[in-house]
Chain A
Amino acid sequence: DAGVIQSPRHEVTEMGQEVTLRCKPISGHDYLFWYRQTMMRGLELLIYFNNNVPIDDSGMPEDRFSAKMPNASFSTLKIQPSEPRDSAVYFCASSLGPTARGYTFGSGTRLTVV
């Protein structure tokens, strides 16, 4: 298994532009999570899905952020419009059940908004 695949690895964009981050979870995993990591705030859970359905989006910072999971093998996190304070590393993780085992993380997308 190739693990959780995120793209792009790095993204540099100008303030105001739309940014779309992508994630392919491990096949068979029914939970998908989006986290954001910054030096100031550490790892924050943004949203998670169970069987493609958003369960908890209370961590999504603002309406500028949206996430979708159109099928079991693909999810997107979109920021529109982007702002410099959105600069962070965004991780996607998947798991088989919420508590059965640990989560498998992707390598992350480093987003820089200038």
Chain B
Amino acid sequence: SQQGEEDPQALSIQEGENATMNCSYKTSINNLQWYRQNSGRGLVHLILIRSNEREKHSGRLRVTLDTSKKSSSLLITASRAADTASYFCATDRLEMDSSYKLIFGSGTRLLVRP
């Protein structure tokens, strides 16, 4: 079952603009991760934010986490055409049987127009 739900499902912006994607989840988590998937390719890990962190930066990426609202956002600043891809949030949670699961959301398709 999907844990995270991304919003919007699709986003189209002009090169140079910022892109913001949101993710909501349902249960408590250990950490939350964002991945990028180019068409026909595997997923690439972008950034991980732990449950006790509120904000994290990596280059042009900024991720926030609000555990009280069970939500996260991914901001890509100064977007480029090469940022065109699908972006997924994934929650890493501890299960009742002490196993871990990384559960992916449905993704946001980002199109950056040149």
Contact = CB atoms under 8 A, between A and B. Distances in A.
Say whether A and B bind each other: yes
Interface of A: 4, 33, 35, 42-43, 45, 48, 55-56, 91, 93, 98-99, 101-108
B42 A43 contact: no
A103 B45 contact: yes
B102 A45 contact: yes
B12 interface: no
22 contacts: A42-B2, A42-B107, A43-B43, A43-B88, A55-B99, A56-B97, A56-B99, A56-B101, A91-B43, A93-B43, A99-B30, A99-B31, A102-B33, A102-B46, A102-B47, A102-B48, A103-B45, A105-B35, A105-B42, A105-B43, A105-B44, A108-B42
B42 A91 contact: yes
A50 B99 CA distance: 10
B102 A107 contact: no
Contacts, number: 53
B101 A45 contact: yes
A93 B102 CA distance: 11
Contacts of A107: 41-42
A101 B99 contact: no
Nearest 3 A/B pairs, CB to CB:
A102-B45, A98-B100, A105-B42
Chain B residues touching A, range: 20 to 34
* Interface SS majority for chain B: strand
Given A102-B33, A102-B35, A107-B41, A45 B48 contact: no
A4 B2 CA distance: 24
B104 A43 contact: yes
Contacts of A102: 33, 35, 45-48
Interface in B43-100: 43-48, 88, 92, 95, 97, 99-100
Contacts of A106: 42
Nearest to A104: B45
Interface string B9-52: 00000000000000000000011010100000111111110000
Contacts of A98: 92, 100
